[in-house]
Structure 1
Amino acid sequence: MSSSISLHSFLLLLLLPLILAASPFPYRSSKIPISVAGGKPPGDTLGESKRFEGSSDLVHLRYHMGPVLSSPIKLYLIWYGRWAISQQSTIRDFLLSISDTTAPSPSVSEWWSTVSLYADQTGSHVTRSLSIAGESSNPSLSRGSSLTRLSIQQVIADSIRTGLPADHRNGVYLVLTASGVDVQDFCRAVCGFHYFTFSSMVGQTLPYAWIGYSGRQCPEVCAYPFAVPAYMGRSTAAMRPPNGDIGVDGMVSVIAHELAELSTNPLVNAWYAGDDPTSPAEIADLCEGVYGSGGGGGYTGEVATDVAGRRFNLNGRKGRKFLIQWVWSPVLRACAGPNAVN
C-alpha cells in the first residue's frame, strides 16, 4: 500500500502517545522572520558567487519514515470572517496555479516541483495534483473574534457539520482568518501553522493549516517585504505587492510555506531537520526570507518588477503574479526556486 493521506488515522494511533508526551500541543508554524530583507545587500555580501541561498553541509534534513501527501490533494477552504471577493480570488488563483502547467516560467507549478521531489519509504512522491474541492464561509465569527489553536479545530468541526466533507483520505483544510480576527500567537510568534486535527474534537484525523490576514494587524511582520518594520528606518523600502493587497499578497507566501511543509511532514514524522519532532526545521523554515538568487542574510534575493513597479518572482494562472519564498531542495541541498539566475 502506498503511504499517503489515507494512512493518517492508523499512524496517529501509533504516534500520538509519543507526540503528546513530548508536548501538549506541538505544531509547525510559519515563524516570524528573524532577519528581514530589502534592496541591495550591503557591501560585497554575495561575494563572487550568487549561490547564497542557504546552501550548507551543516543542514541535516532527514527523513523520519512517516508519510508524505502522495495522493491528489483536495483543498477545503474555510473563510473565517468577512472577505472581499477580490481577496478570495487572489488566494484561489494561487492555489489553483500549483497544478496549472500553462503559466509561463518561472511559474508556481515549477516552484511546487521542488516540493514534489520529497518521497516516502515506498518511493511515493508528494503529489503535484492540488484542487479546491469545497469551501465554507463563516462571516459571523461563530467562534468569536479571538481564536486559540484548539478553537481553530472547532472552526473546522463547525464547517464539517454545516456541509464540508470530512475527507480523511485526500483532504487538506485551510482555515483563513480575515482582518480583525485575533489568533493565539499571531503577529507575536507565528503568521501561520500546520498540524492535524484531534479525532476527539473533529471526529477525524485531518491535516490542516491556519493562515491569518495581516494587512492591518502586523503587515511589517507577516506581510514582509510589502511592509517593513520601523526599526529598519529608511534604508529598506517596502515592495509593491503584485496583486495590490499587502495582507493577501503576504498571506499567499505564508500559505505556500505551510502547504509545502504540510505535504512533506503532515504527521510531524517525515521530512525535517533537527532531533526534536515538536520543534522541527521543515523545508520552508530553512528558506525563510529567501525569494530569489542571492537571498539570505537580510536580503530577499533577485526578484522581478512589472511595468507598474510591482514585485514578483512567480507567474500563475490568469496572468497572476506572486512573490513566494523558496523551499529547500533535497537534490541541491540548498534553497531553490524556478526564478534562480544561476
Structure 2
Amino acid sequence: MGPVLSSTPIKIYLVWYGHWSPSQKLLIKDFILSISTPPPKHKPNSKPVSTVSDWWRTVSLYTDQTGANVSRTLLVAGEYADTAYSHGKQLTRLSIQQVISNAVKSAPLPVDHKNGIYLVLTADDVAVQDFCRAVCGFHYFTFPSMVGYTLPYAWIGNSAKQCPEVCSYPFAVPGYMGGGGPGALKSPNGDVGVDGMISVIAHELAELSTNPLVNAWYAGEDPTAPTEIGDLCEGLYGTGGGGGYIGQVMRDRQGRTFNMLGRRGRRFLVQWVWSPVLKACAGPNSLD
C-alpha cells in the first residue's frame, strides 16, 4: 500500500565514510550509472551479453497502486566524503542516521524528499552494528527526530578486512569450503571487498526502490522484519542456481567471474531479484 520510487530520475546521494581510493569510488559509481546505460549494440554473429540495465528491468516491473513503475533511470546526484570519521569507527544503526544528518545539515548534500535516496558506504576499517554477524547492508528511512526529515537510505560496508567470506561471497568462502583458496571465485575487478559490496548495493537499491518506506513490496506479515525482492534470491547469480550453487556465470580469459556488463566495459557479478511477473528469481537472461 506504499509508494515505490517512480519519479524519474532516482537521485542517489553517496556518503563515503572513511577512506576510499579513487578507483574504488569510480568502480561503485560505474555500477550505479550502468543501470541507466542502454545496452551496447551486439556485433553480428556474437552472443549477446546481459547488462546491468537488463538486470534492473526486473526491478522496474514493480508498480505502485496507480500503476506507475519503478524508474529505470538512476543518477549520482551528489557525494560527500566523511574522511574524518565524524562518528567514530564503530557505528550503530542510529549513528548511521547521524552521519546522514551531518551530510545534509552541513549542506554538502541537499534534502531530497521527492526522489532522493542516500547511500552510506563505510570503509573496510569501520565496524557497524550487526555487520558480518547478521547483515552486509540494510535499508530503512531516517527519523525526523534524528535528521529532521524522513529520507530513504541504505548502508553497505566494505567487508574486505572483517568478513569477506560472509559479505563478499563467492569471492571469498568460509573455511569449511576452502577459505580464499580453490573454492573462491575470482572477482571481476580484482577488489574482493568492493566487488562484494556492489552485489549488496544492487540488492539494497532494488529493495529501496520497491519498498522505500517499508510499506510497499515485501513478503510476510511483519513490515518491521520484511522479506524483500533481494532477500528471496540470496546466493543466486545465474541459471540453475540453488542449494549452495550460485548458478551459471561467465568467466573472462583471466578467470574472473561475472554475469553482466556495465558502462565502459566494466564487468560485475550481481545476485538476481524476485520477478513479479515470473513469480521466481530472475536475472537478465531469464527475461528473454
**Structure 1 position 169, deviation (Å):** 1.0
| Structure 2 residue ranges without an equivalent (≥5) | 42-48
- Give 3-state SS (helix, strand or coil) of 2:235's partner: coil
Instruction: For 1:1-342, list aligned pairs within 5 A.
Output: 65-71=1-7, 72-103=9-40, 105-162=49-106, 163-233=108-178, 237-340=183-286
**Structure 1 position 233, deviation (Å):** 3.4
Query: In the alignment, which residue of structure 2 is the partner of 1:12?
Result: none
1:73-100, CA deviations, whole angstroms, 9 ceiling, x for partnerless residues? 1000000000011110100000000011
Q: 1:103 to 1:155 in 2, by over 3 A?
A: farther
Q: Contact 2:57 / 2:72 at 8 angstroms: preserved in 1?
A: yes
1:115-141, CA deviations, whole angstroms, 9 ceiling, x for partnerless residues? 000001100110001000000001110
1:167-211, CA deviations, whole angstroms, 9 ceiling, x for partnerless residues? 111110000000110000001100000000001111111000000
Q: Contact 2:178 / 2:184 at 8 angstroms: preserved in 1?
A: no
Greater CA drift, 155-164 or 111-120: 155-164
> Structure 2: how far apart are the matches of 1:95 and 1:169?
19
Report sequence identity in percent: 69
> Structure 2: how far apart are the matches of 1:165 and 1:339?
37
- Give 3-state SS (helix, strand or coil) of 2:70's partner: coil
> Structure 2: how far apart are the matches of 1:189 and 1:103?
38
Residue identity matched to 2:27: T
1:284-315, CA deviations, whole angstroms, 9 ceiling, x for partnerless residues? 10000000000111100000000111000000
Report the count of equivalent residues: 278
Residue identity matched to 1:90: L
Residue identity matched to 1:143: H
- Give 3-state SS (helix, strand or coil) of 1:79's partner: strand
Q: Contact 1:264 / 1:270 at 8 angstroms: preserved in 2?
A: yes
Query: In the alignment, which residue of structure 1 is the partner of 2:45?
Result: none
**Structure 1 position 339, deviation (Å):** 3.6
> Structure 1: how far apart are the matches of 2:226 and 2:87?
30
> Structure 1: how far apart are the matches of 2:128 and 2:139?
14
1:23-74, CA deviations, whole angstroms, 9 ceiling, x for partnerless residues? xxxxxxxxxxxxxxxxxxxxxxxxxxxxxxxxxxxxxxxxxx1111101210
- Give 3-state SS (helix, strand or coil) of 2:30's partner: helix
Q: 1:331 to 1:89 in 2, by over 3 A?
A: same
Q: Contact 1:143 / 1:151 at 8 angstroms: preserved in 2?
A: yes
- Give 3-state SS (helix, strand or coil) of 2:13's partner: strand
- Give 3-state SS (helix, strand or coil) of 1:135's partner: strand
Residue identity matched to 2:188: P
The runs of at least 4 consecutive aligned structure 1 residues that moved more than 6 Å come to: none
- Give 3-state SS (helix, strand or coil) of 2:284's partner: coil
- Give 3-state SS (helix, strand or coil) of 2:54's partner: helix
Structure with larger Rg: 1
**Structure 1 position 236, deviation (Å):** 6.0
> Structure 1: how far apart are the matches of 2:165 and 2:154?
22
Q: 1:216 to 1:99 in 2, by over 3 A?
A: same
Query: In the alignment, which residue of structure 2 is the partner of 1:43?
Result: none
Q: 1:333 to 1:236 in 2, by over 3 A?
A: farther
Q: TM-score scaled by structure 1? A: 0.79
Residue identity matched to 1:81: G
User: Structure with the greater relative contact order (CA < 8 A, sep ≥ 6): 1 or 2?
Assistant: 1
- Give 3-state SS (helix, strand or coil) of 2:136's partner: strand
Q: TM-score scaled by structure 2? A: 0.94
RMSD (Å), alpha carbons = 1.4
Q: 1:341 to 1:173 in 2, by over 3 A?
A: closer
